[in-house]
Amino acid sequence: MIKGMIVFAAIAEKGSMSAAAQQLNLSSSAVSQQVTKLEMDMGISLFHRNTRNLTLTEAGSLFYENCRKVIAIVENTEQKLNNLKGIPSGELKIAAPIGFGGGLLSEPFNYLLAAHPQISLNLLLQDGPIDIVNEGIDLAICIGPLSDSNLIARHLADWRMLLCASPDYLPMHKIFKHPAELAAFNRINHPCANSETLTHARSQECFELTSQRITVNNMQALIQLTLDGLGFAALPEPEVHKYLESGQLVTLLPEWSLNTYSVYSVTSARDKQPAKVKEALNTLSQYFSQADFTPAVQSKQPVQNGGTKDCVTNILPIKPKQASHHTNVDHAS
């Protein structure tokens, strides 16, 4: 219909089919077919025809006025779409787990907004599944790879999980040598990790933490409960490294490692992404590939003589848990 309207408008302005055909780089027969089809669809003649030129009928004049408006709208829309493809602009809607709102995204977003003044950011923070297609999400950050999904996941980083507690919660001078000793203490966990496996660095012995005293479905609340001394918990290193540096948290069982987890950026399609999404993907990828969340100050663990010893946590990578299916992205952080 739009093509026919463009041909019709050109004929009305040029006064002949041949002149319109030349302007549009079409054959005269193709132009004639477009006009014939329009008149058949409308059920009314649009032109007065004579041997010298074409003039608009009353219906043709009415149609022409509205054709120009529609064509202008289409051309303006095409220009905006071309701008989206070439210049990063418009609202960028990003979804991420609530834990990422604690400063993990500030640096990459600051760079993105400074580099592209025409981009505006709409950040949605929530834990649990999210349908990025139906909710109009441009890009989502999720934990764990996608399984059986038509979404496109791009790996950003692998992060360590650390077994942590507040120094005030631990018995004075207590040294934990085996995970079984933790049974006497409160384990705080996220419902997405009811059981967590520890692996010994040298013997490769595995031990599964299954019992829990406190369950909370929000990672930020889980971290706060741990800081407040309600128990011990497996926490993502990037979200607690500042507390480890300040001594508000310490790591337990440094010779035992927890599962690592992978962070992915997720979009609904690989090709023909708007420029704003491409820039966001590049910025996040570059930032997370270079970011180092290892605490500058190694954590201390009490020793029996009342002193302290340096502990280097040795985390062995273990295959991460599958996190989502189809168009739902699981935010488990």
Q: What is the pLDDT along the chain (333 residues), one digit of tens a residue?
A: 888 889 889 888 888 888 888 888 889 899 889 889 988 888 989 888 877 778 889 998 999 988 989 988 888 887 777 666 678 888 999 999 888 887 889 999 999 999 999 999 999 998 777 888 888 899 999 887 666 467 888 999 888 899 999 999 988 767 889 999 999 899 999 887 767 889 999 999 999 988 888 999 888 899 999 999 999 999 989 889 889 999 999 999 989 999 888 899 999 876 678 889 999 999 999 998 887 776 554 444 433 333 333 332 222 222 333 333 334 555 544
Measure the CA–CA gap between 111 and 105, rounded to whole angstroms.
10
Are 241 and 224 contacting, i.e. CB atoms less than 8 angstroms apart? no
Q: So what's the pLDDT on residue 303?
A: 35
The rounded radius of gyration (Å) of the Cα atoms in the chain is 31
The candidate with the shortest Cα–Cα distance to 63, out of 140, 9, 100, is 9
Q: So what's the pLDDT on residue 271?
A: 64
The candidate with the shortest Cα–Cα distance to 239, out of 71, 103, 81, is 103
Are 210 and 219 contacting, i.e. CB atoms less than 8 angstroms apart? no
* 119 contacts: CB under 8 Å, gap ≥ 6: 88, 89, 90, 91, 92, 112, 113, 276, 279
Are 138 and 310 contacting, i.e. CB atoms less than 8 angstroms apart? no
- Give the H/E segment covering residue 207: strand 206-209
Q: What is the pTM of this model?
A: 0.62
**What b-and-e string marks burial along 226-259, b requiring 16 or more CB atoms within 10 Å of the CB?**
bbeebbbbbbbbbbbbebbeeeebbbbbbbbbbb
Fold observed for domain 159-260+293-319 = D-Maltodextrin-Binding Protein; domain 2 (3.40.190)
Q: So what's the pLDDT on residue 321?
A: 34
Q: So what's the pLDDT on residue 231?
A: 94
The candidate with the shortest Cα–Cα distance to 253, out of 199, 195, 307, is 199
The candidate with the shortest Cα–Cα distance to 262, out of 146, 137, 101, 103, is 146
Measure the CA–CA gap between 46 and 61, rounded to whole angstroms.
8
Measure the CA–CA gap between 176 and 26, rounded to whole angstroms.
83
Q: How far is CA 197 from CA 146, 180, 210, 289, in A?
A: 22, 12, 9, 26
The CATH architecture that domain 2-86 belongs to is Orthogonal Bundle (1.10)
**Domain spans of the chain?**
2-86, 159-260+293-319
